[in-house]
Amino acid sequence: MSSPEERESRYGRLRDMMQDEGVDVMVVVGRDDIRYRGRTAYVSDYWQLLSDAFVIVPMKGNPIFVGHPVLGTAQAEQSDWPSDFRTAGQPGEETALILRDLGHAAGEVGVVGMADALSHAHYLEMTETIPDANLRDLTRQFDAVRQVKSDEELANHRETSAIFAQMFKDLEPSIRPGVTEIDLVAEAHQISREYGCRSSMVLVGSPPFGAPAFGTMREIAKDGLVMVWIEGPGPSGAWLEARQLYRLGPLSSETQDFWDLHVESVTAGIAALKPGAMASDFVKTTGEGMAAGGWPVETNPDEQHHTYNLHGIGHDAIEGVWVPGNDRACQENEIVNVHCWVDFADPADGDKLGFVGVTDNVLVTPDGGQFMTWDTPTINEL
């Protein structure tokens, strides 16, 4: 659970935003999705397992939680943030009835997740129950509030990074010739659970690289290269995506040269992530480095078909900024995640080098971005 000081700080900043936006009350909508469940956690300390959730945040007093009967409220009630917990088969209607009881049936109601997490059915339930209320999307404004991480949030992210670093170390004895990818994935899942991580996703691959795989019956080859990608929230709910590469024999000169160029380019890219810089500066700088080394990539932040990218990360796997698509100026103590690969023109190059790359959380500082899990990207020799 977050501290009372952290709770009051979040509510204070959110209510300042609500006042600036001219709304009387805010409804935060969550779903069992890695992009949306962190929103309800941010205002209630309830990490949503499944189904839909609504947290009503008034200008004064404690929030009210509305969930779905499929899960009930037992988990939500572990938190003392909300003062009222309810379930309803039509949670949109129940939320609207609460808003009416609070005196907002004809008021300005901010809805976080209105464009992406709120289902059409629940939207209709709300508008039909309180037709005179003006529902306004506050998703962008909400994300701006949680863009800058507090000291407590930064400590939670550092804890997750420390846990992940140890998880990868614990997994290394299992990365050996003859082990199947699916057994390696299973071992990684067990380790993550032993450290209290929540719903981790594990991907494993080796050349020839194809699509990201959740584990196949293919065996790790002698003298092979292995990619392990783990992402998920740590015990505090702070999210991390991390990729590590392991070699069981010597690297080819082509792979080593590509890796060296990639690390050099990504390091230059994160150095550009200073307060006030655009997130797309990472894409441009990294892409220019790769192109100078003979691997041209797309650097236009407006292109949806992209190669080098980053996104905001925190309580959700993706929150706020992502590039390409939703560019934004960086702020000090914002956390982004970089995960980069080249869209190879020659499929044969992709088979050899497709998942040779860096993935980690990066903290935005006045001196540029800083990796949060490992000081220096490496290919680990086993």
**Identity of residue 181:** E
Helices (H), the chain: 4-21, 37-44, 91-101, 120-129, 139-145, 151-171, 181-194, 253-271, 280-292, 347-353
pLDDT at residue 32 in the model: 87
DSSP string, 106-122: TSEEEEETTTTTS-HHH
pLDDT at residue 297 in the model: 64
User: Cβ distance 108 to 134 under 8 Å?
Assistant: yes
pLDDT at residue 299 in the model: 53
Residues of the chain with pLDDT under 50: 303-306
Q: Do domains 4-145 and 151-381 have the same CATH topology?
A: no
Nearest to 232 by CA among 271, 277, 279, 196: 196
User: Cβ distance 172 to 151 under 8 Å?
Assistant: no
DSSP state of 76: G
pLDDT at residue 314 in the model: 96
What CATH number labels 151-381?
A: 3.90.230.10
Crossing angle (nearest 10°) for helices 37-44 and 4-21: 110
Q: What are the residue boundaries of the structural domains of the chain, listed by start?
A: 4-145, 151-381
Q: How far apart are CA 65 and CA 133, in angstroms?
A: 20
pLDDT at residue 300 in the model: 55
Which of 3.40.50.300, 1.10.150.20, 3.40.50.12780, 3.40.350.10 is the CATH number of 4-145?
3.40.350.10
Residue with tokens 């899960």: 71
What would the pLDDT profile of 297-307 be if each residue is shown by its tens digit? 655 555 434 46
